[in-house]
Chains A and B, each alone.
Chain A
Amino acid sequence: MMKKLLSILLLFVSYQALAGVDPKLLIRDLNKKFNQVSDYKADLYMEFNLPGVKMKNLKGKVVFKKPNKFKIKAKGIFFLPKQNPMQNMSEMLIDTNSYTSIISGYETVEGKNCAIVNIIPLKAQDELILGKFWIDIKNPLVYKSQITTKNNGTIETKSIYGNQIKYALPEKIIVKLEINRIKVPKMMSVDLNKKSKPKTGIESKETGSIQLNFSNYSINANLSDAEFVD
């Protein structure tokens, strides 16, 4: 068993040595970009595609202030993933002493040659189980992530960068998640004129997505705490 583990570790070390990419250096460079931003405000346009939920796209505003104040302001009802992709990414990566990072492979995402950096927390009691980040080797930015937590399952995000690339702030984030289709019992919905769809046996999860489009960023404008009050 020990021999097997050692050989796997050796394989990883030799693979990374061959590739010549150090995950810690990648994360350090990425954190430098995150650290440039102490607060920001941006316009937001949310597009929802969730199984069993029909809703229109929404306009809103997003505000962030270090260390962890984050708020999306929009009129009406909307859904946001429990794991906030904007906040989680920087929060997860900033404390380099709380995790081990290894590169598990390389992949081209959005035309960028990305290293797949796996983040494994050092403390067993951490909410995070595994974080996978696709980081551009040339200009360290997260283009894709897959975060698995104990309570909220796995969410996958894809980031597209625009004008604010130097601050590592995306123009678009597509969050993909696996959820059970929402079902309202017929007795509760009182749908006498609708026929229930036949059940297929095992209730499989379906993939839903939320697309967050950011524009008109205002960065380091010294936002007041009042922005985060309802």
Chain B
Amino acid sequence: MKEFIAILKNEIIKTIKRPRSFIGFGIIAFICLMLQSAFYHDGKEILSFVTGQLENVFNVEGKVLNGNLICFIVLQTLIVQMPLLVALVTGDLVSGETANGTIRFLLTRPASRTKIVLAKWIAGLFYTLLLLIVLGFFALFVSHWIFGDGDLMALNSEGLTIISADDIIWRWGYAFLIAFLSLSVVATLANMLSCIMDNSITPIVSVMAIIIVFTIIGMFDLPSFDLIKPFLFTTHMISWKSLFEDPIPFHDIWFSIAVLIIHIVLFISISIFYFNRKDINS
């Protein structure tokens, strides 16, 4: 166990210290600040796309443009892009070392291959968690600091749900947990491809391609796609949004969580299985 912790510590430091890890933090900070600035200046116009439908008949009273709404919009925008940032770092944790030849030195340590794969996987998850913490800081705390608190007007395809400001903090907590689980699937998939492929770039590009294709399939309401949609992990990555519905569809959320966990278990099992049988030639 001591050995495993030492490897894990080493892997976490290696992962965090890489320049590309900071690209992820920088991009998140940049996108958050950019969206916040856009909403600060043109928020009412942007919102009128939705509230305009109501404003013909109603006066919308209260502070619609607030920190909760901005966080909701930022999270819903970034949840599609964040997997790409996760893949950028976790996609070459193994394959990068294979390509460089440093994996051979790592394998000379007494720890088993399973422990090495698990250490790399956990390091990837730790990076994913850090990304989400940075996102949470900018999307939730900075947005509240700039726009203040207020009821959330949550947008979903069936309309609007107004959630009281007093009833929202716990929803954010669980939403970030589900977002972490969703991104963990991406990190595990990237880790799996990284174990299979020897090239540093191919696993990253493959993960990005898979996410883009799955997301496009999810966007279209075509009957032929409906059969496969429930099995795509991207379909369930957005399930955090269900926490902002009234009533909350807990059954759907639990189903999504189960699907995401099954993906993680499947991907990490394949990673361990493949890496244990892999010939390290370079």
Residues of chain A having any CB pair with chain B under 8 Å = 51-56, 72, 74-82, 152-153, 177, 179-197
Contact = CB atoms under 8 A, between A and B. Distances in A.
A189 B226 contact: no
Contacts, number: 130
Given A76-B164, A179-B57, A182-B54, 20 more contacts: A52-B159, A54-B246, A76-B150, A77-B153, A77-B162, A78-B61, A78-B162, A79-B58, A80-B59, A81-B58, A186-B157, A186-B221, A189-B76, A190-B79, A190-B238, A191-B157, A192-B218, A192-B238, A194-B158, A196-B221
Across chains A and B, which 7 residue pairs bring their CB atoms closest together, nearest first? A52-B159, A192-B218, A55-B162, A77-B62, A79-B58, A76-B151, A191-B157
B151 A184 contact: no
A128 B235 CA distance: 50
A190 B237 CA distance: 11
Nearest to A184: B155
A76 B238 contact: no
A193 B234 CA distance: 9
Contacts of B236: 193
Given A52-B158, A52-B160, A80 B58 contact: yes
B215 A181 contact: no
A152 B59 CA distance: 11
Interface in B34-88: 49-50, 53-54, 56-64, 76-77, 79-80
A192 B50 contact: no
Please indicate which of the listed interface residues B53, B54, B157 has the most CB atoms of chain A within 10 Å of its own CB: B157
B241 interface: yes
B156 interface: yes
B219 interface: yes
Interface in B167-211: none
Interface string B228-261: 0100001111110110011000001000100000
A186 B222 CA distance: 14
A80 B155 contact: no
B57 A81 contact: yes
A217 B109 CA distance: 81
B63 A77 contact: yes
A183 B53 CA distance: 8
Given A52-B160, A77-B162, A194-B158, A72 B61 contact: yes
Interface of B: 49-50, 53-54, 56-64, 76-77, 79-80, 150-151, 153, 155-162, 164-165, 215, 218-219, 221, 226, 229, 234-239, 241-242, 245-246, 252, 256
B215 to A, nearest CB: 7
Contacts of A55: 160-162, 246
Contacts of A186: 157, 219, 221
15 contacts: A53-B162, A56-B246, A75-B62, A76-B151, A78-B61, A80-B59, A179-B54, A179-B56, A182-B160, A183-B53, A184-B155, A189-B76, A190-B79, A191-B238, A192-B215
Contacts of A78: 61-62, 162
Contacts of A76: 62, 150-151, 162, 164-165
Interface of A is mostly: loop
B234 A192 contact: yes
B103 to A, nearest CB: 36
A53 B159 contact: yes
A53 B63 CA distance: 17
A194 B156 contact: yes
Residue from B53, B61, B245, B256 whose CB has the most chain A CB atoms within 10 Å: B61
B130 to A, nearest CB: 24
Nearest to A80: B59
A195 B267 CA distance: 28
A152 B56 contact: yes
B228 to A, nearest CB: 13
Nearest to B53: A182
Contacts of A194: 156-158
Contacts of A77: 60-64, 150-151, 153, 162
B153 A190 contact: no
A195 B221 contact: yes
A187 B219 contact: yes
A183 B156 contact: no
A70 to B, nearest CB: 12
